[in-house]
Structure 1
């Protein structure tokens, strides 16, 4: 596990990453990554730990389990803008399902609101 923490910290620092959005299941790693980044002379990014997406049975959607892949979404005709808009809707950032580009999301989404999401998980309705 230490090699992972070291590699992630070095990569994020070298690439100048300023904001990290990830699942709340990785919250415990944050302390170690911040510590390592500071020891390496990097400024740690701001972190937002988001609720995990789960199916109707409460099983986490992931590539290791039965989550839908980006390839499957593309093949079904789903656009990146639809995915981004849907995820922001699930997170409560928009009051309705919409399409939103990554650049629009960066301009319009309040990072601090995302950081304060307190749900353990969000059920995806499909």
Structure 2
């Protein structure tokens, strides 16, 4: 369930960023956004823990801020794998990574879902 929600949040951020930043962030259509969100979620699950362990000294010195650089690098790697999904420069990827981090903090920080009958 968390994988699907993570993919949905990533897709929503991609669509919002495509509307907000039409010059720096290139997204062809919604299908490309869905594929890019899926690829990014898979990369986050497989590659991100390895990168965090390798960059542990930098993460400690920067008090965790270096994770934004790791997120931007994963976004650039996603852009490499998905045609129709690109950034004008690394700084555009960094900006999208910051917005994605904020969105994930807001929407993915829910530890449980409560359902109550009325």
TM normalised by structure 1 equals: 0.29
Task: Pick the structure with more strand per residue.
Answer: 1
> Which structure is larger by alpha-carbon Rg, 1 or 2?
1
TM normalised by structure 2 equals: 0.30
